[in-house]
Amino acid sequence: MLSVNGLGKTYPNGTVAVRDVTLTIGAGEIVSIVGGSGCGKSTLLRLLSGLDHPTVGTVEVDGTQIVGPHPAVGIVFQEPRLLPWLTVENNIGFGLAHLSRAERRDRVHTVLKRVGLSDYGSRWPRELSGGQSQRVAIARALVTRPSVLLLDEPFSALDAFTRVELQDHLLEIWEDTRPTLVLVTHDIEEAVALASRVVVMRPFPGRVAQISDVTLARPRDRLSHAFDDEKRAILSALDTTLAHAGTLRTRPAAAVPA
Amino acid sequence: MPADGSLALEASAPVEPVRRPSRGAGSYSALAGFLVPVVLGLAWEAAVRFGVANGRLVPPPSVIFQTLYELAITGELYTHIKATLFRVLSGFAAGTIAGTLIGALVGYAQTARVLIDPSLQGLRAVPSIAWVPLFILWFGIFEASKITLVAVGVFFPIYLGVLGALLSVDRKIVEVGRAFRLSSFALVRRILLPSILPAYVVALRGGLGLGWMFVVAAEFMGASEGLGYLLVDGQQLGKPQQIVAAILTFAILGQLSDWLLSRLTAPFLRWQDSFVRTS
Amino acid sequence: MSARRSLLDSIGATGTAIFLGAVGIAIFLSIWTIASHSLDSAVLLPPPLTVLQTYGGLIADGSLAQDVRASIVRVFGGFLIASSTAVPLALLLAYSRILRGLVMPLIALIRPIPPIAWIPLAILWMGLGDPPSYFITAIAAFFPIFLNAFAGGASLQDEHVNAARSLGATPFALLKTVMLPSALPMIVTGLRIGLGQAWMAVVTAELVAAQSGLGYMIQISRLNLETARVLVGMTVIGLLGAVMIGLIGVFERRVIVPWHYPR
């Protein structure tokens, strides 16, 4: 369970990147954070990961405060960021240095199979396509069995077809162990397809404008009217946040897990 | 077309587009690379044989090979090669170690960079060859000054290479290391070192090339053996064939050592994008 | 932490660079002074002050100016010879595939031989005195100029040539208005590198084969155990080299680069 309390980040030059974010995400939830540029969504994710430090407020994972990168929190970046001098399997096993060789090999092979790249273990990153690289990056984050997985616009650099493919794939993998997923994206369709809750942020300063539930049943049909409705709702929320000043609004929905 | 050659719109016959000559390194250019010098060598040989050209100042290939053969037979060639090789390798080792350590220190620690780099950049402005007299004053005319000169020549490319590579390390990759909570030591060992390896190898090869250059310069001043000595001796005795023989040997050794270095370091760079790989 | 930051902020980026540079120089000079006092030998390491005094002396009696002039004349002479042969040859080879096949192998063969190795041959061929120095300098400058000019010529884009020809350009006009400007940025880069190499070659040649110039000066000073003069010579060589290359660099950036597409 991820709990964010009054989180804020102000840079030394005075820019307020994120202001007063309070949020509770239950175990196994998929939450998507959307918003235009400058709204602070990536900064927020980095604060959750421990790679950046907040100026005010706290982040807690299962009761432990996050003060730096934490074993229970994995992160997938926008670029695959694979280490070019390591093979695919060594990249995936990068965070498993504390395990025995045998156990490491087992885990890596299992997760390789899970992302559909069993035969690619001894390849070099330069031999992979964009989609394959990102799958390896996801595998690398998952192999450490984090309880929270953060993804910062993981599919934005891929073409539309690969993107949908990987979105479905992510969902599939999530079904295995149901980690908490926090997904930053600018793709509304992606947010609606994956998330159970969508956090809409607005910029200057970056803050939460609206948190709404996506009540569609899984598996979700991207072509259905209900799907479109949800998309439209979020789009209009984004429009509103861009156009006027707004206060925090929450759509009435199932009770937020405490 | 206007006589002054100026550009002018004119209805003329359709112009064929320029087809760029293919620049690929095909077997043709490799063949030409081999043939042209050989043909020229043979032509010069013939010219001298037939008395058309004076072979005294520019010796024909046969005389050069003869000289090489004589030097090899008497064991002289081996002695000189050994002396020069020793100086190159010692100087290369010293310069590489110094350049790597100081470059790493300056690249990794901001304070060190502020303190050390400006002085080194200033020293770098002095062409390495100008250090020769000072080194002779400091270390005498024997081995130490020669090896030091080679070391100084090797030092700068390595230092700059390591420093440059460290300063341009991809921060996004470093962040992956941070995300996996690597200790500073592990960060250096598992991320920084491998990522600067390609640039480091380039610097090593450059340093080695310079080392060969500087050993010749060093051997010009008060050496009694070595390929550079053969050069000076050839000039003083009026034996251009000896000079050319020495230059040939030296060029072959230089290429050989560079080839060896790239073969030795190749396994560490298997992962490189082939477009980037320098052969 | 914040105090240091505000100091650096207040003087700006250039100010910071100058400040750090000054600190670096101060550190260097201090170490030098301490080292020379502990060694206590004018032959091994005269202190900075002595070196400065020597500077003054050499400037006053005009000998420094003489040596500087001799070296500068040589470097420009050799550089001119090199550029006037390298640039046309390079452009010619970039244009003609046949010539390229014939001449390139020769250039590739001669290139690995360092300029200094040519000195004994040059002396045998041309005798002692100035000609070998010019020869060495020219050879040293030739290759970087050639290689860069060749790359510049090879970077000529077909579209530009076709456009010009379809507008009716003669071969000469083509050369003047399309090929030369297109190759110019890389030619200037080659000239800059070539000048650096030429300067090194001049000093090298003067160390072994000349009777005047900065290289000769430091060699003679060494034989006379006048270390202060050696240091003066070394620093002048470094300074002049940096200035010359800097000037071409400025020319490169201000005159050439404004219109140059980065490729």
pLDDT digits (tens, 9 = 90+) for A75-97: 999 999 999 999 999 999 999 98
Does a structural domain hold residue B36? no
Does a structural domain hold residue B132? yes
Strand-pair category, A207-213 with A2-10? unpaired
Q: With an 8 Å Cβ cutoff, are B29 and C101 in contact?
A: yes
Mean pLDDT by 10 residues, chain A (258 residues): 91 88 92 88 92 92 91 94 94 92 93 92 93 94 94 92 92 91 93 94 87 89 91 85 51 52
Q: Rounded CA gap, B146 and B150, in Å?
A: 6
**What letter does residue A20 receive in the DSSP assignment?**
E
Beta strands in B102-190 (DSSP E): none
Rounded to an integer, the average pLDDT of C195-214 is: 90
Using a CB-CB distance cutoff of 8 angstroms, which residues of chain A are in contact with residue B165?
Answer: none
Q: Choose the mutation target among A85, A94, A96, A98 for the interface with B, i.e. most B CBs under 10 Å.
A: A85
For C25, the closest of B118, B131, B235 (CB atoms) is B118
Render pLDDT for C221-254 as a digit per residue (tens, 0 to 9): 988 888 889 999 999 999 999 899 888 888 888 8
Q: Rounded CA gap, B109 and B122, in Å?
A: 20
Q: Rounded CA gap, A108 and A91, in Å?
A: 9
For B32, the closest of C101, C172, C199 (CB atoms) is C101
Q: Rounded CA gap, A114 and A172, in Å?
A: 9
- Chain B CA closest to residue A46: B179
Q: Which of residues 244-273 of B touch A (CB under 8 A)?
A: 270-273
Select the highest-mean-pLDDT range: A5-14, B116-125, C136-145: C136-145
pLDDT at C202 over 80: yes
B85 vs A13 pLDDT, higher one: B85
Provide the token pair at C183: 């190759």
Does a structural domain hold residue B12? no
- Chain B CA closest to residue A83: B173
CATH number of the domain within which B215 lies: 1.10.3720.10
Strand-pair category, A2-10 with A16-25? antiparallel
- Chain C CA closest to residue B112: C24
Least confident segment among A112-126, A174-188, B19-33, B227-241: B19-33
| pLDDT range class, residue C46, cuts 50, 70, 90 | confident
Residue A191 makes CB contacts below 8 A (sequence gap 6+) with A32, A34, A183, A185, A198, A214, A234
pLDDT of residue B272: 81
Q: With an 8 Å Cβ cutoff, are B173 and A83 in contact?
A: yes
Q: With an 8 Å Cβ cutoff, are B271 and A126 in contact?
A: yes
pLDDT of residue A256: 52
Contact between A154 and A94 (Cβ < 8 Å): no
User: Where in the sequence is the domain holding B233, given as residue range(s)?
Assistant: 58-268
Does a structural domain hold residue B95? yes
Does a structural domain hold residue B29? no
* CATH of the domain spanning C43-260, picked from 2.40.50.1070, 1.10.3720.10, 3.20.20.70, 3.30.70.260: 1.10.3720.10
Q: With an 8 Å Cβ cutoff, are A69 and B197 in contact?
A: no
Q: Would an 8 Å CB–CB cutoff place A67 in contact with chain B?
A: no
pLDDT at C4 over 60: no
| pLDDT range class, residue C11, cuts 50, 70, 90 | low
- Chain C CA closest to residue B32: C101
- Chain A CA closest to residue B183: A69
pLDDT of residue A131: 92
Render pLDDT for B135-186 as a digit per residue (tens, 0 to 9): 888 888 888 889 999 999 999 999 999 999 998 899 999 999 999 999 988 9
Residue C185 makes CB contacts below 8 A (sequence gap 6+) with C152, C252, C256, C257, C260
pLDDT at B276 over 60: no
pTM for the whole structure: 0.79
**In chain C, domain spans:** 1-40, 43-260
Angle at B36 between CA B33 and CA B39, to 5 degrees: 145
Give the count of domains, chain B: 1
pLDDT at C3 over 80: no
Q: With an 8 Å Cβ cutoff, are B175 and A69 in contact?
A: no
Rounded to an integer, the average pLDDT of B91-96 is: 96
